[in-house]
Structure 1
Amino acid sequence: MDINKRCKIIILETSDIHGALLPIQYANNAPTSSGFAKIAAMIEQERGRGSFVLVVDNGDLIQGTPLVYHHAKLNAEAPNPMVRSLNEAGYDAAVLGNHEFNYGLELLNKAVRESHFPWLCANIVDAATGEPYFGTPYRMFKSPEGVKVAVLGLTTHYIPHWEKPEHIAGLRFEHVLESARKWVAKVREEEQPDVMVVSYHGGFERDLNTGEPTEPLTGENVGYALCTEVEGIDVLLTGHQHRTIAQEVNGVTVVQPGSQGTKLGKVELELERREDRFVIVSRKAELLSPEGFEAVPSIVKLVQKDEELTQAWLDTPIGKLLGDMRITDPMAVRLKEHPLIEFINRVQMDISGARISNTALFDNISPGFPPDITMRDIVSNYIYPNTLQVIRISGQDIKDALERFASYFATYTGGPVTVNPAFSEPKPQHYNYDMWEGIRYKLNIALPEGQRVVQLEYEGKPLNMNAEYDVVMNNYRAGGGGNYTMFQGKPVVRDIPTDMAELLASYIMERGTIEASLNANWEVIWE
């Protein structure tokens, strides 16, 4: 075999960076071993190896850290720091993620205009014309040896279930599978690529080895179906679920590189020229770690001004706290009411006028509030750009939701309380366990799932299953996010479009001093 007939191409993927540009933790500015500036150093290294390299970002880029929040809310006229960084790193393409829409179309369109690379998305279309809204469903690339590579972009069509309507006005989200079938066939016929890459901001709905369902088949994730039901895909770049995956599914090479710049996905293909085209003869998928790499100096310098403005904003004092709202044990917070959770629920009730509220402790690194509260403390605890909605639901809906929340815990059989694997695999979903104010309840996790609500009262009486109640919650949950289907399609009594972090900050600033309180209206037991 003539070795000169063979060549390699490398496809590198980032996904779900979520604004994690610099290798720091904004809660305390401690260094981390991840972040885009370190990933960029890995990209430079891969480009230096001599093979043809394509670099694709798979979405959820411009939201998620105080740096990008500050840009979006207080410095939006400046160039987008994430886009500038990808430009500097020489990206070839990007795909829209669901969180790209969190700050509205104006900011997103500005980011797209500033990009030196195309944003690919075949299935988000202009509602009036039916044409891809962002103009570029796919892009063709050609290696020096003549290998033709097509990269098609797709985005989970479940976005309307989460996003504020005004942020997606004029858009239609077509089903990913239908769009994939249409566009893969079209690209194969018209462009005749040697390699067909689909970059899909979405994940997997089934076990990759057994094909068994791993979540309700809502359509949010259809990665397994793309591998098994759409002909012609060679490589599937995925994300959204924040998993670490590098393997093959039904002959399709699949990668998913975690989140926050903790991994770089790499697909290496070896191709052989046969007559007038190239054929893939070997393939390898792997995930590369940025540990040990230094942040690329040019990127750090590029965003220095953005970072300085963010740090000054984060350390601006906004009020004082009497009492203790620090968090030392996240599991304890979820087992018995904590002053921080009660405070957030009380703010939601005060702002909305609703008499019942729920909220979550979003992750296990939330520090709580110190005596002198700054913006850093706000964004370290309320990490998502959620807004609030008041929806009208029945007593039965509340009970059903509490049973779903109670399933967060594994059935207790002795020893420490543990999290149900359904809420920890394939990624931690602490944000899908809410705690309530305005009702009194008790959950017994020694009982089977679906039978754990052993006390449920409103205003001193058993909750009426047939009565209707107005409940305030974040927009993600109100739309049924987290598989809380009992909330989907319920009447929206009030919509509060301001980000919750801003609402918390405004509430504290208006009062100057807040006080920790605890009415202990709920608890989790195991007896």
Structure 2
Amino acid sequence: MNKFKIICTTDIHGTIYPVDFSSNQTVDFGLSRFATYLEEQRAENEVLLIDNGDVNQGSPFVTFANKNEPMNIMAKALNKLQYDFVNIGNHDFNFGSDFFIKYINELEGTSIVTNVLYNGKTIGQSQVVTLPEYDVKIGIVGVVTDYISNWEKPANLTGLTILSVMETLKKEVASLKEKVDKIVVCYHGGLERNPETGEPTETLTGENVGYEIVTKIPGIDLLLSGHQHRSIVTHIGDTLVLQAANNVREVMEVTYDAGVFTGKLVPMHEYSSDQTFLESFSDVYNQTQHWLDEKIGPGAEGLSVSDIIEVQKEPNTFTRMINQAQLAFSDADISSTSLYDSTIGFAEEITYRQLAANFPFPNTLVLMEITGAILKEYLEWNANYWTLENDEIVVNPTYLEPKRQIYNYDIFEGIEYTINVQKPSGERIEDLTFEKKIVQDHDVFRIVINNYRASGGGDFHMLKKGTILKEYSEEIIDVMYDFLKNTDLTDLNKQQTANTMLTK
């Protein structure tokens, strides 16, 4: 008899094509490779297919499609692959409630999201799957991290209410217990603790509560998680817990046999792309490539980024350019920016392809008023990014494992200071000046930062003590595009000064 399998993707992030659009090189992951794997599995087994959220953001391909295609491109992709059930992720809220609801409505798969309301009504509901040939009834519940309101712009949540993950699951699991033999929870969130020891692996903000879910809500047989982009197959108590890496590098495959779930992660590099699947998106792909090849203007010396960590240690012309663009746009006193794993800087000729690689998230800018005391607290928290190892300054391992978070280190313009890494946390910032004057606690500054940071993202909660003066609607990538079109970048080299120093 064929086996019954639950196959779950998570954090697809717009990766339909096996292409790194920043370099235009082929990669060994993506939804097209998954399509080949899925066809093989369906030929041999009974398959229940689930997506666990974060599909609508993360690739230039989906960025272009979101702005230009009448139908949601990711709904089209999931429909082509005949997904049975769909959960949602935090990044699916990035484009506003109209976009969000349109995506949900265009899906042919059933929404299982139980902790999100739109105009007072849930956008999904728990499901019972009856499989008489396997003598089992399975209940399936979907929830998304309720920490979204701490990151997302209020305007993007119009009409939406996000309920407590824990309270929702307690109710849903209790309701399902009498109806089913097995309960599966699809949670777009991750593990906040080491599954073996129970020790916290991050600040317990409530962003990730996977460990709490399975230890405080009895009766869950399988937890399919996401959000952290980690590779996990483990048990917490009697609950099987899985999570897969992002961009369909791997998928979660769970087999049900004789009353027991067993799970593994299947890498997609072993499979070739399904060309028939890709043909459905070829027009959008070609248009995306044409859009990315648009030439914005000439670059300048020092704008490339070959080693992100080294640039974080010694900010260069590229980081200065970003902050100068933000200062010019907002007329702030101080600006901060961060780098991403996709950051490449600019070549001699700047194209939109490079711009998309450097600014992969649809963040907007926020102008805030903060005091000198808040600024110092901000910088001290930022300084925790560095530590000493064998007398060398290196990135604190907590920013690399269990989830890589190099985007949670900020680089500033408008102030000068030294980070003394050998000092204790909270006492590392030295010689902080603004316009050559020592910063006092009572001083007041206008600072421009992205909306994620302004909301306290990255545990920069002290920024929420500031006052928001203005929230801009333009995405950072558009701010940079206008700046590059109208700025002679060679002038940046003439003005460049070192405003941050690391010492040990």
Normalising by the smaller structure, the TM-score range is: over 0.9
- 1:99 maps onto 2:88 in alignment: no
- 1:59 maps onto 2:56 in alignment: no
Shift of 1:224: 0.4
- 1:305 maps onto 2:283 in alignment: yes
Aligned in 2, Cα 1:413/1:395: closer, same or farther, shift over 3 Å?
farther
RMSD: 1.7
Shift of 1:45: 2.0
Deviations 1:328-374 (A, max 9, x none): 222220111211111111111111111101000112x4211112211
- 1:381 maps onto 2:358 in alignment: yes
- 1:215 maps onto 2:202 in alignment: yes
The question of whether the paired residues in 2 share the 8 Å contact of 1:439 and 1:521 is answered with no
Give the equivalent residue in structure 2 for 1:158. 147
- List structure 1 runs of 4+ shifted beyond 4 angstroms: 511-515
From 72, 79, 85, the counterpart of 1:80: 72
Shift of 1:376: 0.6
From 22, 26, 31, the counterpart of 1:27: 22
Give the equivalent residue in structure 1 for 2:346. 369
From 424, 428, 435, the counterpart of 2:411: 435
- 1:270 maps onto 2:257 in alignment: yes
Give the equivalent residue in structure 1 for 2:231. 244
Cα distance in 1 between the residues matched to 2:458 and 2:248: 24
Shift of 1:48: 2.3
2:289 aligns to what SS in structure 1?
helix
Q: After TM superposition, list the pairs within 5 Å mapping 1:141-152 onto structure 2.
A: 141-143=129-131, 145=133, 146-152=135-141
Q: After TM superposition, list the pairs within 5 Å mapping 1:484-499 onto structure 2.
A: 484-499=460-475
Instruction: Please report the TM-score for the alignment, with normalisation by the length of structure 2.
Output: 0.96
Give the equivalent residue in structure 2 for 1:197. 184
Cα distance in 2 between the residues matched to 1:299 and 1:522: 50
Aligned in 2, Cα 1:512/1:147: closer, same or farther, shift over 3 Å?
farther
Give the equivalent residue in structure 1 for 2:167. 178
Give the equivalent residue in structure 2 for 1:18. 13
Shift of 1:292: 2.4
The question of whether the paired residues in 1 share the 8 Å contact of 2:374 and 2:466 is answered with no
Shift of 1:479: 0.3
Cα distance in 2 between the residues matched to 1:89 and 1:514: 49
The question of whether the paired residues in 2 share the 8 Å contact of 1:76 and 1:107 is answered with no
1:218 aligns to what SS in structure 2?
coil
The question of whether the paired residues in 1 share the 8 Å contact of 2:6 and 2:47 is answered with yes
The question of whether the paired residues in 2 share the 8 Å contact of 1:360 and 1:432 is answered with yes
Deviations 1:222-266 (A, max 9, x none): 100110001221111100111110111121111100101111111
Give the equivalent residue in structure 2 for 1:277. none
How many residues are aligned here?
A: 502
- 1:69 maps onto 2:47 in alignment: no
Deviations 1:409-442 (A, max 9, x none): 2224424x32111100112101000001111111
Structure 1 gaps, min length 5: 272-279
Cα distance in 2 between the residues matched to 1:520 and 1:493: 28
Segment of structure 1 superposing worse, 440-449 or 248-257: 440-449
Shift of 1:283: 2.7
From 462, 472, 478, the counterpart of 2:448: 472
Cα distance in 2 between the residues matched to 1:295 and 1:65: 18
The question of whether the paired residues in 2 share the 8 Å contact of 1:441 and 1:521 is answered with no
The question of whether the paired residues in 2 share the 8 Å contact of 1:319 and 1:513 is answered with no
Shift of 1:466: 2.3
Shift of 1:524: 3.6
Give the equivalent residue in structure 1 for 2:457. 481
Instruction: Please report the TM-score for the alignment, with normalisation by the length of structure 1.
Output: 0.92
The question of whether the paired residues in 2 share the 8 Å contact of 1:479 and 1:489 is answered with no
Give the equivalent residue in structure 1 for 2:424. 448
Deviations 1:147-174 (A, max 9, x none): 2222111010111111111110122211
Which letter does structure 1 place at the counterpart of 2:286? E
Q: After TM superposition, list the pairs within 5 Å mapping 1:99-138 onto structure 2.
A: 99-126=91-118, 129=120, 131-132=121-122, 134=123, 136-138=124-126
Deviations 1:368-420 (A, max 9, x none): 111221111111111111000012222122111212111112224424x3211
The question of whether the paired residues in 1 share the 8 Å contact of 2:223 and 2:241 is answered with yes
Cα distance in 2 between the residues matched to 1:252 and 1:514: 58
Deviations 1:458-491 (A, max 9, x none): 1111111122222110000000000111012532
The question of whether the paired residues in 2 share the 8 Å contact of 1:321 and 1:515 is answered with no
Cα distance in 1 between the residues matched to 2:85 and 2:319: 41
Which letter does structure 1 place at the counterpart of 2:168? S
Q: After TM superposition, list the pairs within 5 Å mapping 1:350-361 onto structure 2.
A: 350-361=328-339
Cα distance in 2 between the residues matched to 1:391 and 1:8: 57
From 403, 410, 424, the counterpart of 2:380: 403
The question of whether the paired residues in 2 share the 8 Å contact of 1:138 and 1:152 is answered with yes
Which letter does structure 2 place at the counterpart of 1:288? V
Cα distance in 1 between the residues matched to 2:129 and 2:56: 25
Cα distance in 1 between the residues matched to 2:296 and 2:316: 22
Aligned in 2, Cα 1:332/1:305: closer, same or farther, shift over 3 Å?
same
1:488 aligns to what SS in structure 2?
helix
Give the equivalent residue in structure 1 for 2:213. 226
The question of whether the paired residues in 1 share the 8 Å contact of 2:296 and 2:481 is answered with yes
Shift of 1:515: 4.3
How much identity, in percent, do the aligned residues show? 33
